[in-house]
Amino acid sequence: MRVTLYLAILLLLNCLMATMSWGSAYLSLVIVITYLLFRPTRVLHPNNMLFGFFGLYVVLPSTLSLILDLISWQYLVPWIEVIQWKSFSKYVLFQAEFTFLVLYLGIHVFSKESPAPQLAERPDYAISPIVLGFLSVVALGLVVCFIQVTAGFEAWLNDYSFTYLTKREGYGLLNVIIIAVGNVVVFLLGLKCYESKNKLGTILWALFVMVALSYVNGVKARFIFLLLLFMSPYLMSMRITLKRVGAFAFAFFGLLYLGTLVRTEGFYASPPFFLEMLIGYFNSYQLHDYVVTSRDPALFQTAAQIFTKPFQLMGLVDVDANFDISVMLTKEFFPEHWYGERATQQWPLDTELYLNYYGPWLSWVPLLVYAVFISWLYRTTILRTNMILLPVYVMEFQRLFSMMRGTLIPWEFPIYVAQYLFVYVVCRSVVGSKTSSSGVVQEVQGVRA
C-alpha cells in the first residue's frame, strides 16, 4: 500500500514538474517525501548523508528562492539574484531526481541487514594515553609546519580568506598527511571520550585539536566533519528520529554560520546576508544548468582526467591540463576565479554523469555499483558494530557528500585509499579491548561473532 501511494505521488509530482513553473518546488517535494516514507533507522545510514546533500543543494536554496520571489525580496548581494531556480532547465530537474532516486532507493534496498548469527556484546576499548598524546602532538606540529611554510602566522591571521585560497599551492602532500593524521587523532579522542568517565578534559582538548586542524582546511566543512568523526562512537548505534534530524540541522547551520564568519571575515554576518548566502553558496545545480544548456550529453568525455595529475607529476602532460571536471568548467565559465585565485566552483555529480554516461541513459550503472559498495560498508561497520573500521566508514560516509558535488572516481582516489588503509592500520594497532577476566589489553580483531 505504501509503495502504491508513493508511486502515485511520484507520478503526480513529475507531471507538475514537467508542466508548471517553479518545477524545483515539486522536485523538493519528491526528495522530502521519499525520505519520510523510506527513512533510515540509524543516524549513520548513508541515505541520511545523501538526503543531507540534496536538502542543502536542492530543497534549501530552491525553497528560499521561491519564498523570496513570493515576497518580492530586494537582494542585497547582486550575484545571488542571478541564481534563478524558477527558470532552471527541466532536464536539470529530472536528472537530479533520477540520480537521487537511483542512489537513495538502491541504498535503501542493499543496506538492509541480512540474517546473521547473534553478535557478541561490544567490548570495552582501551587506548594508551601516551600514544594518543604523541599522535595529538604530531598532528598539531604538522599544522604549525603547514602554516609556517605556506604563508606564516601573520598572513593566516590577518588575511585568512586570501591566504587559504592562494598560498597552499605546492603543499598538497603535507596537507594530505595532516588530514590523515588528524582523522586518526580525532577519532581516537572520540573513542577515548566515549569510554571515559571523566570526559570534560578530553572534550576540551579535542575541540582545540579540531579547531587547529580545520583552520588550515577552510574551517566550515572540515570542522563539521571532524566533529562527526569525534562523535561517531556515540552515533554508531543511535536511532534516527525527526526530532534528531531537526537538532542536527540546527547544529549544522549554527556551525556553518560561525565558519562563514571566519572564512569571509564577517561579510555575511547579518541575517539577510546569511540568508542570501545559503542560496548562493549551494549553487551546484545552477552551474549544471550552464552545462546542460550549452552542450549535448556525451560518453566518457572527461573520464581520462583521473590520469592527468599523475602524468603532470611525471612531466608527461602540460601543467595546465585539466585534472578535474570542476577545474575544467571553472576555467570556461569563471576564468578569473581559477587564473586569479586558483579557486574553483563545484559542479554536481550530475555534470560528470551528463558528460560521461549520457546523463540518465547510462548513469544508473555506476550509481547502482556505488550503492552496493556503500551499503556493504554500512552493513559491515555499523550493523556489525565494527569499531576499528568505523573511522574508515565515516570518511567514506563523508566522501559521499563530496562525491555528490564532484565525481564518482576523482583523481585523488589513490590518496583516499591510502588514507583509509593508514587510518585502519593505526586504529587496529593502538586500540585494544579490556578483558574482564585478566584486565590485560588485547588487540581488537574487528567483528566478533
The pLDDT tens digits of the residues spanning 276-296 come to 888 888 999 999 999 999 999
**Amino acid letter, 297:** P
Residues 6+ positions from 114 with CB-CB distance below 8 Å: 379
Whether the CA torsion 328, 330, 334, 340 is positive or negative: it is negative
User: Number of helices and strands (H, E) in the chain?
Assistant: 21, 3
**What is the per-residue pLDDT for 309?**
87
User: Given this model, what pLDDT does residue 185 score?
Assistant: 96
In what side-by-side order are the strands of the sheet with 431-434? Answer: 125-127, 431-434, 441-443
- pLDDT number for residue 119: 46
- Could you tell me which residue, 81 or 417, shows the higher pLDDT? 417
Q: What's the pLDDT score for residue 143?
A: 94
Question: Lowest mean pLDDT: which of 92-96, 100-104, 262-266, 400-404?
Answer: 262-266
User: At residue 313, what are phi and psi to the nearest 5 degrees?
Assistant: -65, -30
The type of residue at 5 is: L
Instruction: Work out whether the CA dihedral 82, 84, 90, 91 comes out positive or negative.
Output: positive
Percent of the chain with pLDDT over 70: 93
Please give the average per-residue pLDDT across 354-383, as a whole number: 96
Q: Which positions ≥6 away from 87 have C-beta within 8 Å?
A: none
Q: How confident is the model at residue 181 (pLDDT cuts 50, 70, 90)?
A: very high
- The CA-to-CA distance between both ends of the chain, in Å, stands at 37
Domain coordinates in residue numbering, the chain: 2-117, 125-270+387-443
Q: Cell digits for 341? A: 585565485
Tell me: pLDDT of 227 over 50: yes
pLDDT for 15:
97
- Pairing outcome for strands 431-434 and 441-443: antiparallel
Q: How far apart are CA 302 and CA 394, in angstroms?
A: 28
Mean pLDDT within 206-212 = 95
- pLDDT for the residue numbered 87: 86
Angle, nearest 10°, between helix axes 413-430 and 390-404?
160
Stretch 51-66: mean pLDDT, rounded?
95
Mean pLDDT of 51-72: 94
β partners of residue 215: none
pLDDT confidence of residue 2:
84
What pLDDT is stored for residue 158 in this prediction?
83
Looking at residue 444, what is its pLDDT?
38
Exposure class string for 290-306: b at 16+ Cβ within 10 A, else e:
bbbeeeebeeebbbebb
Predicted confidence at residue 274, as pLDDT, reads: 85
Buried/exposed 55-64: b ≥16 CB within 10 Å, e otherwise: bbbbbbbbbb
Q: In 357-440, which residue ranges form alpha helices assigned H by DSSP?
A: 360-378, 390-404, 413-430
Residues 6+ apart with CB under 8 A from 3: none
pLDDT tier, 209 (very low <50, low <70, confident <90, very high otherwise): very high
| pLDDT tens per residue across span 108-129 | 999 987 655 444 456 677 888 8
Residue type, 60: L
If we measure between CA atoms, which residue out of 256, 261, 264, 258 comes closest to residue 161? 264
Cβ proximity of 418 and 86 under 8 Å: no
- Give residue 121's pLDDT: 56
Summarised one tens digit per residue, pLDDT across range 139-152 is 999 999 999 998 88
Q: How confident is the model at residue 275 (pLDDT cuts 50, 70, 90)?
A: confident
Looking at residue 380, the DSSP 8-state letter turns out to be I
Pick the range with the lowest mean pLDDT from 100-109, 301-310, 345-354.
Answer: 301-310
Task: Say if residues 37 and 114 touch (Cβ distance below 8 Å).
Answer: no
> Which of 124-138, 260-274, 368-382 is modeled with the greatest confidence?
368-382
Residue 355 has pLDDT above 70, yes or no: yes
What is the identity of the amino acid at 96? A
Of the two residues 438 and 29, the one the predictor is more confident about is 29
pLDDT of residue 251 exceeding 60, the answer is yes
pLDDT of residue 195: 86
Grid cell of 195 as nine digits = 569510554
**CA-atom Rg of the chain in angstroms:** 23
Span 334-341, average pLDDT: 86
Question: What span, in angstroms and rounded, lies between the C-alpha atoms of 83 and 285?
Answer: 9
Contact yes or no for 410/432 (Cβ under 8 A): no
Is the model more confident about 2 or about 324? 324
Please, which pLDDT band fits residue 421 given cuts at 50, 70 and 90? very high
Average pLDDT over residues 412-432: 92
Cα–Cα distance, 260 to 131 (Å, whole number): 34
Q: Within 10 A of 221 (CB to CB), how many other CB atoms are there? A: 17
Cell numbers placing 241:
528520529
Give the pLDDT of residue 156. Answer: 87
- pLDDT band with cut points at 50, 70 and 90 for residue 342: confident
Query: What is the Cα–Cα distance from 194 to 185, expressed in whole angstroms?
Result: 14
- The pLDDT value recorded for residue 363 is 97
Residue pointed to by grid coordinates 518546488: 25
Integer angstrom CA distances of residue 47 from 124, 233, 240, 304, 400: 29, 19, 11, 29, 10
Query: In the prediction, which pLDDT does 431 show?
Result: 85
| CB contact at 8 A, 83 and 279 | yes
Q: How confident is the model at residue 436 (pLDDT cuts 50, 70, 90)?
A: very low
Side chain identity, residue 184: V
Composition of the chain by helix, strand, coil, percent to 5? 70, 5, 30
Average pLDDT across the chain, whole number: 88
Neighbours of 160 (CB within 10 A): 18
